[in-house]
Amino acid sequence: MQEGRIVRALSGFYDVKSEGQIFTCRGRGVFRKQKITPLVGDFVHFDQTNEQEGYIIKIEPRTNELIRPPIANITQAIIVTSVVEPDFSTILLDRFLVLIEAKQLKPIILISKKDLANEDQLNRVKEYINIYEKIGYTVKLVSTKERENLSILQEILLDQVTVFAGQSGVGKSSLLNALKPSLLIKTGEISKSLGRGKHTTRHVELVEINGGLVADTPGFSSLDFKEVEANELGMCFPEIETRAPMCQFRGCLHDKEPKCAVKQAVEDEGISNERYKHYINFLKEIQSRKPRYS
């Protein structure tokens, strides 16, 4: 039996990297019976059946996992959004941040297509960058046209297992292609009629870039909070989480409760009013979903 890591999954086949070699493996039937699906990023044990093939026998416990995209054992998430084409959206960015925070992953925000924006658009985005940096997030305004930007990104990737996430068309694949041209990941043109990118990435794959592993993953424009409960949402907003212990009532949802430290911080402009509105919108969305029964 050998050990390795799944670096690619496609149509029930899993490429496992072990000691510098790639083995194409299938999962044993026991995984289907146990309703376990091997994921890219999994550390596995496999039986080698010939020089290039094998069967996965065991999956090691995961430190974390995402459903969309399906990947495990990540150390950080880079959320890519764009200044324009599509236009910068704080509510979409906050949705991604909540999902990443819920998995206790370190989020890094990349705002791409700086070279396509005019001065007014850049100034608007820079105001938001200040808001997110004050919260404690790392935010980088980048362009694939500027080599200095790519050097900064290379440092971020070093020794990490990174998942790239973001709305379709924001430039995830373009950034990866600029970092490692040999990838030749297909990039999609923005659909002018739909205002969003075509879904061009068809599978999840971990690739080696600058001493780290990076996943380029399918872009998508709709996100839900199926795995986040109402009482957990505040913990996914760092500026709310730090003030929550000062609320008068334990279990305060920072919505209708009196003497809420979070609402007071919004009034005092210590918390962004826009971010707080997004929190309330997400809270209502979670509270209105149908209950799950086991």
Answer whether residue 191 is part of any domain.
yes
Answer whether residue 100 is part of any domain.
yes
Distance between CA atoms of residues 140 and 159, nearest Å: 19
Does 73 share its domain with 165? yes
Q: Quick: pLDDT tens for 25-79.
A: 998 877 877 888 899 999 999 999 998 999 999 999 999 988 777 889 999 999 9
pLDDT at 184: 58
Its domain, for residue 40, covers 2-61
pLDDT at 199: 42
Q: Quick: pLDDT tens for 91-109.
A: 999 999 998 999 888 999 9
What does the pLDDT average to over 80-84? 93
Does 167 share its domain with 149? yes
Q: What total of structural domains would you count in the chain?
A: 3
Q: Which of 158, 189, 216 is the last residue of a domain?
A: 216
pLDDT at residue 241 greater than cutoff 60: yes
Whether the CB-CB separation of 68 and 220 falls below 8 Å is answered with: yes
* CATH number of the domain to which 35 belongs: 2.40.50.140
Whether the CB-CB separation of 209 and 179 falls below 8 Å is answered with: yes
Q: Quick: pLDDT tens for 254-280.
A: 999 999 999 999 999 999 999 999 999
Does 208 share its domain with 78? yes
Q: What is the pTM of this model?
A: 0.83
Q: Which of 12, 28, 61 is the last residue of a domain?
A: 61
Q: What percent of the chain has pLDDT over 90?
A: 61
Does 91 share its domain with 173? yes
Answer whether residue 222 is part of any domain.
no
Q: Which residues, at least 6 apart from 268, have a Cβ–Cβ distance to it below 8 Å?
A: none
Does 55 share its domain with 89? no
Distance between CA atoms of residues 213 and 40, nearest Å: 11
pLDDT at 140: 93
pLDDT at residue 292 greater than cutoff 70: no
Does 210 share its domain with 169? yes
Mean pLDDT across the chain: 86
Q: Quick: pLDDT tens for 166-222.
A: 887 787 777 877 888 776 555 444 333 333 344 444 577 898 888 899 875 554 444
